Structure 1
Amino acid sequence: MIQLKNVSKIYRTKNGEISAVNDVNLSINKGEIFGIIGYSGAGKSTLIRLLNGLEKPTDGTVEVNGQLISSITGNKLRVARQKISMIFQHFNLLWSRTVADNIAFPLEIAGIAKTERDKKVKELIDLVGLSGRENAYPSQLSGGQKQRVGIARALANNPEVLLCDEATSALDPETTDSILELLLDINKRLGLTIVLITHEMHVIKKICNRVAVMEAGRVVEQGEVLQVFQNPQADITKNFVHQITGSKESQGSIEQILINYPTGRIVKLTFVGQKTEQPVISKLIKQFNVEVNIVHGNISQTTSGPYGTLLIQIDGDAQNVQNALAFLETNEIQTEVIEHA
């Protein structure tokens, strides 16, 4: 569906060159929700503008739905863009138009007859949960309602790709979740490919199938969300995962834990998918005659299943403790024994 090959974007200014995107390679499948996460200045917004042709790459190629967006121009580009819609952080609604008229706007531009236009607008209003608000103006809407209008307008021309540029950043957490649920529902109902850029790992965790992590214009890590949660490689990815799991312990906190639990072994367990539902602790106690204390624990839900971390103390006969550790390893539970620095 979407292919980026060796894509770079360099802006040339009077103060020199700025490399916004640097040798990015991405493959996004039809019908998936793909997240791109990074802090401000990582190159996310430039990358998403390359996907709809608002920017042209300095090097490399961008292909969307069979069209080489990086090279086509004029009418071919306009036609291709009709299948690539976008929603924004600050909604970009027409304040002098009602909800229905905002949604109808792209249909008017496309020359759709009024009868068909009105029918489509009603369908979209129902789809995004705004029934009864069609005659309201943007100033009369909440932030979440405004974004629902933006989503409905983006869907008016039956796009095959929906680009979301920090679409929930201006919303409170509860409203953010409702918009993410709406995007997930639209993805399932319409089979729409969604590319979502954000600086919030919660957004990635909530609805994305796969994720690419950007830093200084480069994609430093990518993969299925659950795999990235389980085994983050880049430091920036570890920071993002920590936002959700709270699984990153400082050396100071590690040392304090070891002081508080001077005997036995302190072990960090990582569970993925159905492993999070297994009665691991009770099995350790019953089968190996060891004492187990839970020091800290956290479970997060992703679209691919749950991910959890657990910090425990295992105490008892040295051989029994060793047998318990071996049992954890053989049951495919990622195990890390915490030692003094």
Structure 2
Amino acid sequence: MIVLNQIKKIFNTNSGCVTAVDSVNLSIRKGEIFGIIGYSGAGKSTLIRMLNLLERPTEGTVTIDGKDLTQISSKELRLARQQIGMVFQHFNLLWSRTVFENIAFSLEIAGVKKEEIKPQVLELIQLVGLSGKEDNYPSQLSGGQKQRVGIARALANNPKVLLCDEATSALDPQTTDEILDLLVQINKKYNLTIVLITHEMHVIQKICHHVAIMESGRIVEQGDVLTVFSNPQHPVTERFVKQVASEDDSIETVEHLIKKFPKGKIVLLKYLKEKAEQPFITNVIRNYQVDINIIQGKVVQTQEGGYGSLYVQLTGLEIIPALNYLKEVGVEVEVIS
């Protein structure tokens, strides 16, 4: 559905040339929710703006639904953009227009007949949960309601792709989850391809099928979300995963665990959710001369399944054989002390 081939973006500044996006290759399948995550300055905002050529690549090609957007005329590009909706971080609503008028605006620009606009807008208002708010102005709405208007407006022209540029970063946690649930609903209802950028791993964990991690303008790791969560390969990815999985192994935390549980070994166990259905802890206690004290743990749910992490203290005579058994049944073992 979306193919980026050797995309590069160089900005000319007073202090010289700055490479914001550097030789990025991505392939995004139709109907999936694809997340792009990175810290501030990673290049993710520039990258997503090149998907609809709000930023034109310095090098490389952007192909959407078989059409290379970098090679078409300005008129063709305007038509192609109608098939690419965009939701912004700060809503970008017209403050002098009502909810109804904001959503209708994109249809008016596209030349839709007046008598066809009203039923389409009312359907979208119902879809995003704003029935009864048609005549309200943006100043009368909460942040979450404003973003719902932005989503409805982005869907007005029945796009094939929806781009979300930090669409939840200005919202509180509860409202963020509500907006993410709405995006999942829209994705399933319309089989709509959604590409979102974020600096919050919770967003990736909750709704994305695949993720790409950016640093310094490059994709440093990508894959399906469950695989990336369970086996991160790059230090930046590990930092993001630990935000959600509560695997903070900072020196202070490790030292605290060692002082509080000085005997035996402190071990971090990582496993996919299906492993949690197997009694591997019980088997260790039954079959080895080992006592296990569970310190803390968490299971993180993704669109493709769950991933768990568990800190335990092992004491006894057969710690090493017990750890070998855990590895054999597919549990990842990291000895902390």
* TM-score exceeds 0.5: yes
Q: Offset at 1:277?
A: 3.3
Partners of 1:276 and 1:307 within 8 A in 2: no
Residue 328 of structure 1 corresponds to: 326
The C-alpha deviation readout for 1:297-330, integer Å capped at 9, x for no partner, is 1221111111111111222223xx3332222112
**Structure 1 residue runs of 4 or more that deviate by more than 3 Å after TM superposition:** 258-263
Q: Secondary structure at the match of 2:36?
A: strand
Give distance in 2, aligned partners of 1:69 and 1:273: 41
The C-alpha deviation readout for 1:66-103, integer Å capped at 9, x for no partner, is 11112223111011111111000111111111111111
Q: Secondary structure at the match of 2:92?
A: coil
Q: Cα RMSD between the aligned structures?
A: 1.4
Amino acid at match of 1:52: N
Judged with a 3 Å threshold, the aligned counterparts in structure 2 of structure 1 residues 252 and 135 are, in CA distance, closer, same or farther, namely closer
Partners of 1:276 and 1:306 within 8 A in 2: no
Partners of 2:273 and 2:299 within 8 A in 1: no
Residue 210 of structure 1 corresponds to: 210
Residue 153 of structure 1 corresponds to: 153
Residue 41 of structure 2 corresponds to: 41
Residue 90 of structure 1 corresponds to: 90
The C-alpha deviation readout for 1:27-77, integer Å capped at 9, x for no partner, is 111000000011111111110111001111111111111111122231110
Partners of 1:210 and 1:223 within 8 A in 2: yes
Residue 99 of structure 1 corresponds to: 99
Q: Which runs of 5+ in 1 are unaligned?
A: none
Q: Offset at 1:16?
A: 0.8
Partners of 1:247 and 1:298 within 8 A in 2: no
Residue 59 of structure 1 corresponds to: 59
Residue 77 of structure 2 corresponds to: 77
Give distance in 1, aligned partners of 2:296 and 2:43: 36
Q: Give matches, 1:198-277, under 5 Å.
A: 198-277=198-277
Give distance in 2, aligned partners of 1:136 and 1:261: 58
Comparing 211-220 with 110-119, greater Cα deviation is found at 110-119
Give distance in 2, aligned partners of 1:55 and 1:257: 49
The C-alpha deviation readout for 1:248-270, integer Å capped at 9, x for no partner, is 31234324433443433322110
Give distance in 2, aligned partners of 1:186 and 1:263: 52
Find out whether 1:137 has 2:159 as its counterpart: no
Give distance in 1, aligned partners of 2:317 and 2:13: 68
Residue 118 of structure 1 corresponds to: 118
Amino acid at match of 2:149: V
Residue 16 of structure 1 corresponds to: 16
Number of residue-to-residue matches in the alignment: 337
The C-alpha deviation readout for 1:150-207, integer Å capped at 9, x for no partner, is 0001000000000000001111110000000000000000000000001111111110
Residue 315 of structure 1 corresponds to: 315
Q: Give matches, 1:271-310, under 5 Å.
A: 271-310=271-310
Give distance in 2, aligned partners of 1:265 and 1:171: 42
Partners of 2:90 and 2:170 within 8 A in 1: yes
Comparing 282-291 with 198-207, greater Cα deviation is found at 282-291
Give distance in 2, aligned partners of 1:153 and 1:261: 55
Give distance in 1, aligned partners of 2:279 and 2:126: 44
Percent of counterpart pairs with the same letter?
59
Give distance in 1, aligned partners of 2:77 and 2:40: 29
Comparing 200-209 with 274-283, greater Cα deviation is found at 274-283
The C-alpha deviation readout for 1:204-247, integer Å capped at 9, x for no partner, is 11101111111111111111111111121222111111111121
Amino acid at match of 1:270: K
Residue 338 of structure 1 corresponds to: 336
What TM-score, normalized by structure 2, do the two folds share? 0.96
What TM-score, normalized by structure 1, do the two folds share? 0.95
Q: Give matches, 1:145-184, under 5 Å.
A: 145-184=145-184
Amino acid at match of 1:135: D
